[in-house]
Amino acid sequence: MNVYFDNAATTMVREEAVDAMVNAMRDDYGNPSSLHGFGRRASLMLETARAKVANALCTKPDNIFFTSGGTEANNWAVRNTLRSLSHKGKHIITSSIEHSAVSEPIKALENTGWEVTYLSPDSSGRINLQNFSDALRQDTVFASIMLVNNEVGAVNPIYEFSQELRRRALSTVLHTDAVQGLCKIPMSVKELGADLVAVSAHKLHGPKGAGALFINDKVKIDSLFIGGKQEKGNRGGTEPLPGAVGFGVAAELGVNELSTTSAAVRSLREYTSKLIKENLPDAVFIGEGDSPFLLCVSLPGYKSEVLMNYLDSVGVCVSNGSACKKGARSRTLEAMRLRNDVIDGALRISFSRYSTREEAEYFLMKLKSAADGIVKAL
């Protein structure tokens, strides 16, 4: 049996999205910028996809700009917005647990003279509103806090951050990486109150290589690529039509199914937790389960890499954190000030709408075998 419990890294592309993408590649394959019939049909498909992604975020299609994924969307939001804000101030607020698509661009800016305040999470993995408020200054021109932590599933109070900015009458641009949130928790750009929202298709059963950035009308952001008038001149180059179409279909279906999928996944998460508690009583659960799609658990005294290698050998896919850190120690768990043995034994289990109880039972059986085997080997 094969069990794929690494859906926070990427998800299976759903058949409806595959079919739409194949059509965009094989049949309606025109360039959306061309003026003939093929081009007009391609343009209509592109704008239909844009409208579907916009609807998933409860915003206008004019505010949605397609990218190659969450990393590009986050890089664009951070680097190109700050380029146009430097004359207003040079202070940035972010967290110490952002995805590298946000943290690395900010570190690069810090090296050029920007001042950065890094906020640490509490024991649940969330960024505290009071800490955010305390860090704000008159010259804080940009703040970036992720919506859903990609390792422990903590959901940050982005709307409360936005309200604090309004209460203090600050013009700070608020950005959030919502890659783990879209079609997984109820959200809209209005409810978030953020000026820039980055999302990605492959976390919600769409294709890799497709993402989007919501840009509030009031935000001035430099173009990402020049050399063409695509995406209102913000991202020159022929639009990735198949990816955008697949993203649109996945987003449309994901939003329509959100309540039923979330309920099913939450039930599965609780069932998996129950199995672990009953069979591995020394396991430590990390975080409070804000997102039903993520479960972070540790077996103190074990090495997550050893557990993962065994599980992989018997057809079970899990991770020990973000796929982008490629085996490095988790910054999130370190920032939460967990014990070293808890960090070293941590596993991230992430579910999707296609995950089943039978898979959870098989996973638990093999995890227990791995733990027993390691003990015997010692």
Q: What is the mean pLDDT of the chain?
A: 94
Q: Provide the pLDDT for residue 323.
A: 47
Query: Which helix (DSSP H) or strand (DSSP E) does residue 197 occupy?
Result: strand 196-200
In whole angstroms, give the CA distance from residue 137 to residue 141: 9
pLDDT in tens, 120-138: 999 999 999 999 999 999 9
The architecture that CATH gives domain 15-256 is 3-Layer(aba) Sandwich (3.40)
In whole angstroms, give the CA distance from residue 101 to residue 146: 11
- Tell me the domain boundaries of the chain: 3-11+258-377, 15-256
Q: State whether residue 43 is helix, strand or coil.
A: helix
Structure-token pair, residue 175: 């950005």
Neighbours of 305 (CB within 10 A): 12
Q: Provide the pLDDT for residue 373.
A: 80
Check if 3-11+258-377 and 15-256 are the same fold: no
Q: Is the pLDDT of residue 112 over 50?
A: yes
Q: Provide the pLDDT for residue 375.
A: 53
Q: Provide the pLDDT for residue 226.
A: 84
Q: Is the pLDDT of residue 338 over 70?
A: yes
Q: Provide the pLDDT for residue 10.
A: 98
Instruction: Fill in the DSSP letter of residue 233.
Output: G
Q: What is the mean pLDDT of residues 265-285?
A: 97
Q: Half-sphere exposure (CA, 13 Å, Cβ side) for 106?
A: 25
Residue from 219, 276, 211 nearest 248 by CA: 211
The architecture that CATH gives domain 3-11+258-377 is Alpha-Beta Complex (3.90)
Q: Provide the pLDDT for residue 69.
A: 97
Q: Provide the pLDDT for residue 116.
A: 98
Give the range among 29-38, 76-85, 169-178, 222-231 with minimum mean pLDDT.
222-231
> 56 CB contacts (<8 Å, ≥6 apart)?
182, 183, 251, 252, 254, 255
Backbone angles phi, psi at 349, to 5 degrees: -110, 125
Q: Which residues are catalytic?
A: 324
In whole angstroms, give the CA distance from residue 211 to residue 74: 10
Report in angstroms the alpha-carbon separations of 286 from 304, 331, 343: 14, 14, 10
pLDDT in tens, 169-199: 999 999 999 999 999 999 999 999 999 999 9
pLDDT in tens, 144-158: 999 999 999 999 999
Q: Provide the pLDDT for residue 326.
A: 54
Structure-token pair, residue 129: 């509103």
Q: Provide the pLDDT for residue 216.
A: 97
